Structure 1
Amino acid sequence: MDVISEVIGTIRAGRPSALRVRQSGTWGMYLPGIEGMGFHVVLKGTGWLITPSGQPVPLNAGDVVLVPHGVEHGLSHTAACTIDGLPDLELPSAHPVTEPAAFDVVLGCYRLERGRIHRFLRELPPVITMSPDYDRHPETRVLIEMLVADVAEDLPGAAVSRSALVDLTLVHALRHARGHTRLGAWPEVTDPGIAAALNEMHTSAQRPWTLGQLSTIAGMSLTAFKRRFTLLVGTPPMTYLTDWRLTHSARVLRETKAPLAAIARQVGYSSEYAFANAFRRKFGIAPGRFRDRMTHEPTRPGRAPVPDAEQV
């Protein structure tokens, strides 16, 4: 199992956003805590990463900040400040200033509805700073340039391109974190039997799987399969399958206009009613309302970690 692919697949149940912020003079911005995952890419200038605990971290052009599980933090022109003293982030106006700025940064995130951050992200440090080698990885520079161009204008297809570019930026940030920071062992599942069962769950979620069928695919007894799966993946197999189905359905709800009955069949539920009940148990909201909120509700930044804050 590729843990980065699974993390991105899970986070895509949320709502992607990205924006560019330019600052000069005496500046600072408070970024409220959210349920989600985000990143910042410093395009120009220098600044400081401010967290509730810990020393301020210097930031330079090219640095990437990864925020795996949406903790509150801030950015500032000076290290001599606290997070409580930072002003709220001001969203760029509809007609952004084009004059050069001392500090230029792109902020991006996926904000989730309610608590569904992947367990692996919860185990990472709250904030990770990186300085990618753009000469060795020129594709990272190209990706950032594409993201900057995409947020500059609201062009046709932006809903698709923004999501794809945020996905790719997070993938590159996680890859870099994996190779260049001491994050401990990444929970890769290399057991061929468990990997085979996971692959069937992911690619054929619509099938009415039983524990016995999955253990047969894994080539294990039912008891051995359940024990081994739970040890390696962190949750029992049928619990994992249910969570995967519903997380996938949330992504389909956000990205398509498919009828609820069709989505229910796509993720293995015999009826729209059964699907809606399972979805409500996991997310605390009916699938139809979830779709409406994800596609129509505006961004509302604020100092408190409010449910609708979109900026990380």
Structure 2
Amino acid sequence: MNDAKRSMKLSQSSTFQPDPLSDVLEVLGARVTRQTRLEASGDWALSFPALDRLKFVAVLRGMCWMQPEGRAPLPMQAGDVCLIGTTDYAVSSDPTLVPQDGRQLFEDPLRDFVHLGGNEVVSIGGTVAFSGPNADFLLDMLSDFIPVQRHTAGAEAISTILSHMSQEIERGAIGSTIVGARLADLLLVETFRAYAEQAGPDQCGWFGALSDPRIG
């Protein structure tokens, strides 16, 4: 009997894997709350101010330019996703265009879809809310702008999630709101994973160390 108990304990301990990322997000109560969709064609440019929150933007179709304040414009294509912290930023068809205030288009909380002339470019955005009292430390330890492009580590999982999100939007079936919310939560986690893997502990500090099994 003692040998059986010892064997059971060894078996249980050998399969346990620490999961610090899940622990952090669970403690902070991280959830994607509001989701938005932008479709655009031709010349367009929108600017958004810095807010004390975390947001993701993912491109489902076409190509656009993302430009956080103080950084060079970054081209984003279908399958690319980025996390945006407390920084001003602009998104556009051409980074030389003067952007209009994007807040006016999305300020109505019931208006989550904006159409600008066509659908050559389709992107989705999500606001990440934290219910935990110590969310500021996560924003402080992350870069204000984290791009994860489709050819980087972890991009395959992100691509699969984006494909499902796009299909849900196109279907418009019953239950699409709850499915979209769950997919957005998955996208957030996969983006964090990809960021930690591609940057490593040396470049993203304590957050990057979450992907190091010697530390986690």
Same fold (TM over 0.5): yes
Residue equivalent to 1:110? 128
- What letter matches 1:43 in structure 2? L
Superposed CA RMSD: 3.7
Q: State the number of aligned residues.
A: 190
Deviations 1:123-146 (A, max 9, x none): 121001121338975433221122
Which residue of the other structure, out of 101, 107, 113, is the alignment partner of 1:87? 101
| Matched residue SS, 2:87 | coil
SS in 1 for 2:204: coil
Matched, 1:128 2:146: yes
8 Å contact 2:32–2:185 — kept in the other structure?
Answer: no
Pair 1:27 & 2:41 matched: no
2:21 is the alignment partner of 1:4:
yes
Shift of 1:120: 3.5
Cα distance, 1:21 vs. partner? 0.7
Corresponding position of 1:184: 205
The SS at the match of 2:197 is helix
**In structure 1, how many angstroms separate the alpha carbons of the residues matched to 2:54 and 2:113?**
28
Q: 1:177 to 1:88 in 2, by over 3 A?
A: same
- Structure 1 residues 171 and 100: alpha-carbon distance in aligned structure 2, compared to 1, 3 A threshold: same
Larger Rg: 1
Q: 1:11 to 1:56 in 2, by over 3 A?
A: farther
Residues 1:46 and 1:159: Cα distance change in structure 2 (over 3 Å)? closer
The 5-angstrom pairing of residues 261-280 of structure 1 reads none
- Structure 2 residue runs without a partner (length 5+): 1-17
- 1:226-265 deviation line (CA, Å, top 9, x unaligned): xxxxxxxxxxxxxxxxxxxxxxxxxxxxxxxxxxxxxxxx
TM-score (norm 2): 0.69
Q: Deviation per CA, 1:58-113, whole angstroms, max 9, x where unpaired?
A: 2222221112x34332201222256xx4332524968976x852221111121347
Q: Is the 8 A contact 1:132 1:176 kept in 2?
A: no
Unaligned runs of 5+ in 1: 196-312
Change (3 A) 1:15 1:143: closer
Residue 142 of structure 1 pairs with residue 157 of structure 2: no
Q: Is the 8 A contact 1:35 1:113 kept in 2?
A: no
- Alignment deviations for residues 190-221 of structure 1 (CA, whole Å, 9 cap, x no partner): 799xx9xxxxxxxxxxxxxxxxxxxxxxxxxx
Q: Kindly indicate which of the two structures has a greater share of residues assigned to helix.
A: 1
Q: Percent identity?
A: 18
